[in-house]
Amino acid sequence: MDDYALSFWIYMGVMAVFVGGTVKKFLASHFSAMPSLVAWLGATLLVERLCALCMPAVLALAALCAACWLYSTWAAPAPTLPVEGKAVFITGCDTGFGHATAKQLDAMGFEVFATVLDLEGQGAKHLRGTCSQRLTLLQVDITQPQQVQQALINTKAKLGMKGLWALVNNAGICVNFGDAELSLMSNYRGCMEVNFFGTLSVTKTLLPLLRQNKGRILTISSPSGELPFPCLASYGASKAALNLFTNTLRHELEPWGVKVSTILPSAFKTGQSSNTVYWEKQHQDLMQNLSPSLLEEYGEEYILETKELFQSHAKTANEDLSPVINTIVEALLSPYPQARYYAGPGVGLMYFIHSNFPITLSDKFLQRLFLKKKVIPRALRKQNGLSILNHNNNDINSNNNNITKPE
């Protein structure tokens, strides 16, 4: 009996280690860990079977796993490429990911070309005051082809015969909130103009320099370009176009030795996302330009709730941009960069659910994760009210018909 109890507790201990490891990997923030998760699940099943057959084999396997864990913990980190002599072009460096990436890469010794919308703005002044002489600030609106061409001329003049190692496509905007039907056509065009056509223009312009160096292209995209987030139709559509372009480019540039990667971050506080005045202006623009019929059908209270939910979501976003910055650095210096990187907490779980669960469950997860709407559009409230009234009337008539009338 004692031998049985000992075996049972050994069994429970080993299984707890494996199951705990599986859960930990499942909740890990990076979806790129999925292969190791699958391997861990397979090992768990193998251990369970061995436990049922032969306890000494289980102990031997547990010892082997412990040795592998110790090796992975203390083993030397994966080799990276040297920084020396590498030049990187980054768009959208006034704030957010672009600003933080420019500072980080400059501190590491890269030669950085950072584009800003305003050379006299706070972001540009901060970069000018904190970074080395290696960093070059360029005033570029990526939607203006002549400014993009001028940036190419300035970059080539400073690089000389040396090619460009990498392009980080970071510049982008999210100029709307609200249902797809409520979003203004100007918002759809604005998102496409910056997020897709602007990035396309910069990429095509700098490609000769990147091919010369067999460099790489990193594009900061968004999960909303692949997952149907509520109230992000215009932004998501522009990112979807960008994702397809980037993936196509990855295939086409492989013979040239140019590596192409897409980085998909989770929610972070960047740009105007935490600016209350920005959200108020977006709300006012929508209310002023929305057709009276749509405003009547959806209702002011429905649109107001959407604005407040966006503001609330922005306030809870992560302020620490390091997961994205570290991912950019990894993609720049890895000898074999991945085609896709998932940066930030929750992205791995989100993609896992989207890829492996039924669409109805995946959609409900996104709705609860992003915007927990409570207000129903005004027209639907009226319809529901009429339905309830008609239902009650039918019940009353039915009850009247069942009453036996006196003869």
Q: Bridge-partner residues for 259, per DSSP? A: 216
Tell me what the mean pLDDT of segment 374-392 comes to. 71
Within the chain, what is the greatest distance between any pair of CA atoms?
109
Residue 71 has pLDDT above 60, yes or no: no
- Cα–Cα distances (Å) from 236 to 209, 285, 404, in that order, read 30, 20, 62
Average pLDDT over the chain reads 81
More confident residue, 367 or 199: 199
Q: Tell me the average pLDDT across 263-271.
A: 83
User: For 397, phi and psi rounded to 5 degrees?
Assistant: -65, -40
Contact between 86 and 165 (Cβ < 8 Å): yes
Of 4, 188, 235, 302, the active-site residue reads 235
Nearest in space to 202 (alpha carbons), one of 219, 188, 189: 219
For residue 346 the two structure tokens come to 């929750």
Buried-exposed string 115-129: b where 16+ CB fall within 10 A, e elsewhere:
bbbeeeeebbebbee
> Which of 315 and 169 is assigned the larger pLDDT?
169
List of domains in the chain = 2-74 (no CATH), 87-370 (3.40.50.720)
Catalytic annotation present for 71: no
DSSP conformational letter for 161: T
Q: Confidence class of residue 273 from pLDDT cuts 50, 70 and 90?
A: low
| Tokens linked to 109 | 């010794």
* Model pLDDT, residue 1: 47
Q: How far is CA 362 from CA 181, 352, 357, 366, in A?
A: 22, 10, 6, 6
115: Cβ–Cβ under 8 A, 6 or more apart, which residues?
Answer: 89, 90, 91, 92, 93, 98, 137, 138, 139, 140, 142, 151, 171
* Cβ 217 vs Cβ 261: under 8 Å: yes
- What is the C-alpha separation between 89 and 402, in angstroms, rounded? 81
How far the first Cα of the chain sits from its last, in Å, is 84
pLDDT at 161 over 70: yes
Which DSSP string corresponds to 96-152? Answer: HHHHHHHHHHHHHT-EEEEEES-TTSHHHHHHHHHS-TT-EEEE--TT-HHHHHHHH
pLDDT the model gives residue 280: 84
Tokens of 127: 């970069």
Span 346-352, mean pLDDT?
Answer: 78
pLDDT at 395 over 70: no
Closest listed residue to residue 220, CA positions, set 241, 197, 242: 242
What mean pLDDT is predicted for residues 219-234? 90
Mean pLDDT for 113-124 is: 95
Please give the share of the chain, as a percent, with pLDDT higher than 70.
74
Q: What is the DSSP string of 203-246?
A: HHHHHHHHHHHT-EEEEE--GGGTS--TT-HHHHHHHHHHHHHH
